[in-house]
Amino acid sequence: MAALTSDPILDNGLGVIDPDVYFQMNKPPANLPEFEAKLKDFVKLHEAKGSRLVFITSGGTTVPLENQTVRFIDNFSNGNRGAVSAEYFIEAGYAVVFMHRQFSLQPYQRHYTQDPNKGFLDYLVPQPDGSIKVDPQYAPSMIKVLEKYQKAIRSNQLLLLDFVTLPDYLFKLQAGTRILAQLQERAMYYLAAAVSDFFIPSQKMNEHKIQSREGALTLTLDQVPKFLKPLVSVWAAKGLIVSFKLETDDKLLVPKARNALTRYGHQVVIGNMLTTRKQTVTFITKNSEKVISLSKDQQAKDVEIESEIIPELVQIHDSWIKSGATQV
């Protein structure tokens, strides 16, 4: 850990530390060099090809309570938004960096990993000759998913990278966005991860497992610095940045989404409510507000709202590349 070189507390009255100071005070994940090497190779390949690239963050971060972590705080996100979106971006010709919470939903695989009543082995039937086949009732839909998956892999359109903890996520977000910055306007950042707003700095954490014999546990959590600020103004300054805003009180959704846009100065905030996030989202840009909702008929046909979100973003990205604005 590097020594502190500046005042750790920003003058905002809330005691929130500056993002730079956060990186000085916390240890990077051990696999950061490997993460960077894989990403650099992927970006190099797609820079040469002239592809557009999207960096998707997906799933929730954990907040460890002990340095040798037995317990942690988690959140609800299972990575559905990110995993579904990755498939539609690939369909639109994008190369996708899928930075996801380890073991959360993954593009293509998700079709077979989220049924609470069915696991991997339930899709298979043993054959008399000792081989295994996919159960014929699942084969027609599985072959379609498999073909798309294999095409994405063959054409090197998908890079899977993972994180678990909040520091893991933040170090990789910084490193990843800085690497992608060389693609300038051709890179899009699609920040769908549910990132904890509170954490315990490692110097304040118990080293070992918190013991129950010490009685009831009282936790004090510090506020996580606002990383969108340096991301927008420094790390990924030329890319198209799309953040999400999640609320449970619908009166707050649009004002808070717009507030985020004004505060960080990026291009798009997509507002979604916890309970309706799969049916309705609101796009907020500097000069516009647009609700995208699935009709009853679309819902009955299991249409995924990401099939409407991604084409909308591709159009915005077209404008961004052409004119540096979200609308031409």
Between 191 and 310, CB nearer to ligand PMT:
191
The CB-of-78 to ligand PMT minimum distance in angstroms stands at 5
Closest approach, Cβ 246 to ligand PMT, in A, equals 4
User: Distance between CA atoms of 300 and 44, rounded to whole angstroms?
Assistant: 42
Stretch that binds ligand PMT, among 4-12, 73-81, 109-117, 210-218 (CB under 6 A): 73-81
How far is Cα 15 from Cα 50, in angstroms, rounded to an integer? Answer: 44
Q: Does 106 bind ligand PMT (CB under 6 A)?
A: no
| SS3 track for 132-200 | EEECCCCHHHHHHHHHHHHHHHHCCCEEEEEECEHHHHHHHHHHHHHHHHHHHHHEEEEECCECCCEEC
Q: Which of residues 203-262 bind ligand PMT (CB under 6 A)?
A: 224, 227-228, 243-246
Least Cα distance to 311 among 145, 88, 158, 107 occurs for: 88
Q: Does 77 bind ligand PMT (CB under 6 A)?
A: yes
Q: Which of 64, 79, 176, 230 is in the footprint of ligand PMT by CB under 6 A?
A: 79
Q: In the bound complex, what is the minimum distance in angstroms from residue 243's beta carbon to ligand PMT?
A: 4
Structure tokens at 52: 């557009």
Using the contact rule CB under 6 A, the part of the chain among 71-79, 127-135, 145-153, 232-240 near ligand PMT is 71-79
Please state the closest distance from residue 141 (CB atom) to ligand PMT, in A.
21
Establish if 200 lies at the interface with ligand PMT (CB under 6 A). Answer: no
CB of 215 to ligand PMT, least distance (A): 32
Binders of ligand PMT among residues 116 to 135 (CB under 6 A) are: none
∠ Cα 238 243 246 (to 5°)? 170
Maximum pairwise Cα distance, the chain: 72
Count of residues in contact with ligand PMT, rule CB under 6 A:
21
Residues 257-286 as x/- pattern, contact with ligand PMT by CB under 6 A: ---------------x----x---------
**What's the burial of 94, exposed, middle or buried (CB within 10 Å: 0-12/13-18/19+)?**
buried
Give dist(CA 18, CA 170) in Å, integer: 13
| Residue 165 interacting with ligand PMT (CB under 6 A) | no
Euclidean distance between CA atoms 156 and 177, whole angstroms: 19
Among 62, 80, 177, 282, binds ligand PMT (CB under 6 A): 80
The string of DSSP codes covering 41-53 is HHHHHHHHHT--E
Q: Is 193 a residue that touches ligand PMT (CB under 6 A)?
A: yes
Single-letter amino acid, residue 146: L
For ligand PMT, the binding residues (CB under 6 A) are 57, 77-81, 191-195, 197, 224, 227-228, 243-246, 272, 277
